[in-house]
Structure 1
């Protein structure tokens, strides 16, 4: 009897392999376009969101709901057939809006599948390599830090970059501080020569003017910081004067030690060398004193400009120069 079961069992298994029982397929696809982001329900089950392709749906007629916060629920029947993507367009109305339906197309905010945002690298390639002052003023007015940083790091003219740095200062961006600290170290080496040629604080080839000429410029009120091309050389003069003060102080100390040795030994011709050292010490001491007075007057002008200049970006630059001098260039 048991031997009869074996052939029967094999026959049943073979039939099940070659003639499987039909299974209800759930491979329908649906995409709902809507004027606002919303959730999609099929037969009261949430199946996805608007704008995306929803798959694994049962074939045949189904009831669909489209729901979004603050909007009236949309309800309709959809017929999902074959392997094609069934597309449905829906326009949700705000709650309390009793106007009739329109044929308004869904918002284009939702991207079609497969569409991608332009890559960041592509956007950067589209940016111009150089900018002008108008670009800076627009970005400054809009408070666009990112664009100002691009301008600051671009190959634009120096005036454009220094104005961008000033705008970033006003907007309290660290990028401007890094840029200006580099300029301080180089004594504004990248600034146009013409700015220094036109400054009453400098002679030719960016050489600091003599003390008499600088004093006359202050007395005649020629030293003004009303523009960027006046303010930058003005603060460059402060940095150079401070550097010279330190240099002269060190040299004076060396000469004083030399004078002490000469006086002690009193070798042949010592008095001539002693007198020369004494003369140089007096000259450098006077320059140190003059530079201190000039720096004080420059900072006084900068302080006034912070309050009086209508250009807020230039005022921010003047304030930064003033604070830098007070904080890092103390005697």
Structure 2
């Protein structure tokens, strides 16, 4: 039987321990403050200076508390290589190359989407002036060059067009070239048919190229902004990305409201002729929106189509790619 003295000592010891624990809990814990954005540098990836042009034309990046560097590429393939190597933090691209990059193991998340009602006309299969190729079915036995790499939006449009015509990719020869190199080869008559997009498509059309099939009814017209997992895991860069997305959303709205001013800045920054700029901008005026359930559903259909066609090495789960917390509309 435990004596009263021992029992009392035990209770006293427990009381002392409890008070000590309470004291530890009551002691305020120093919380980490907000990141110092003045020490943050965002490296924003771009394609043909498209994103930069909008931002600078609209003046939305003035007074950012963080630093910004731009890195522009010919197409999505080299852009995502830069994401992999850690040289850039973000990558704006059409939905298919983003999914292709994810299928290839690129460490990325989707942080925003760009939706345009006319964007699908800005991807097409082209043939030279006077080409005997009149329909997609005429591509059987021919060679088609795709820009810029496997999994590009141009390849997705070609794939969809072939299915419409009762063909598969095995009915023709498909090659891949960066759009700048392909543009030179196409204009010199070395390419029978070319699946391309954007400024390269517009310039070729204005030089007489004929659209065999554009992306309407095949391509969703949705663009995406992806960010590297490394950048998103850095508190300072994550905070800066959240801020810059709001600014880029305002830039897109400004572009829609001020087409003439935007065209002037676009021509100056890119060095493209006015007629090319006019055609590109006629097709390209998206609004930046969060990656919601509807967009994820669209992306999953594309990912599954490529996977079933054995164009992706693994099945991409679009829902797991989406970071829905970093960008929300006001």
Interval of TM-score (by shorter of Structure 1 and Structure 2): under 0.3
Higher Rg of the two aligned structures: 1
TM-score, with structure 2 as normaliser:
0.25
If asked which structure has higher relative contact order (CA below 8 Å, sep 6+), I would say 2
